[in-house]
Structure 1
Amino acid sequence: MKFYLLVISLLSLSLSLNAQNSEENKNTTEEVQVPEILTKLKLLEQVDIDGYRLSFKRVVSDGRCPKKVTCVWPGEADVIIEINDGSETVAKKITIPALGFHKEIFSTSTHIVYLKNLAPYPVNSEDKIEAYQLLLKIQPKKS
């Protein structure tokens, strides 16, 4: 008889815990991450944004630590971009950390342009990358 009472007690405890867990799962909402949409700007190409022209002119240096190499420091890359507003062209040298960042490079009346990273990332120390691309995020301004 004691055995049956023990089994019934364990079953009721188990059912009670399952009910609590299912209630907790119903009440928790998962936050969905919205993917970032990035624009790839190839070397020597340009993109027009609200009357501005952004040009990716050159990679001055690429000192990022390759994936298959052990380094003390992750490194960085230096690039030159030009921004033309229709009357004046301004050249900017930007240093991009190896892990990328989220740096505003300019804004218009309706958009903000962020520089995210330089691709591709070097794999071996002997890699000679020629097909560089800037990864940009062109975000509408919130009103």
Structure 2
Amino acid sequence: MYNGKTYPGQGNNSYIFPGVALGVICAGVTHISDEVFLIAAQALANLVTPADLDLGGLYLPLSKIKECSIEIATKIAECAYDQGVFSFYPEPTNKGKFVRSCLYNYTYEKSVLPTTFSWPRNKLIKTTIKRPECRKPADWSHEES
């Protein structure tokens, strides 16, 4: 919002494309039609609350971006299975749960690595690298003798 007016932002890159990609990959859609983007836009619009609009936002807060992507992906998967343009079998009964199961989990539950690494206490050994001798400029001559 600027001077009391609401202006649109980068909705495609932040809100639309991640959800579209997730839905298309989950359902195995091989052709992305214009309808996919209309479904995504409608799903995004339905997520924006009156409180978001009162604050001058056209989109929901970025803190809710993950849920937004999941909702868009779910709507796209539902449409893909309704229209028969999917390639993932068998059809999941709960599309929302199915989409959530396809999300990448970037947290590790258990690791064999320590959570911190200690710095070596011994003194570092100073090494000297002997460089090869360079040819003198006189040696750079390309003239044959």
TM bucket (normalised to shorter chain) is under 0.3
Higher relative contact order at CA 8 Å, sep ≥6: structure 1 or structure 2?
Answer: 2
TM-score (norm 1): 0.17
Give the structure with the higher percent strand.
1
TM-score (norm 2): 0.17
Greater Rg by CA: 2
Give the structure with the higher percent helix.
2
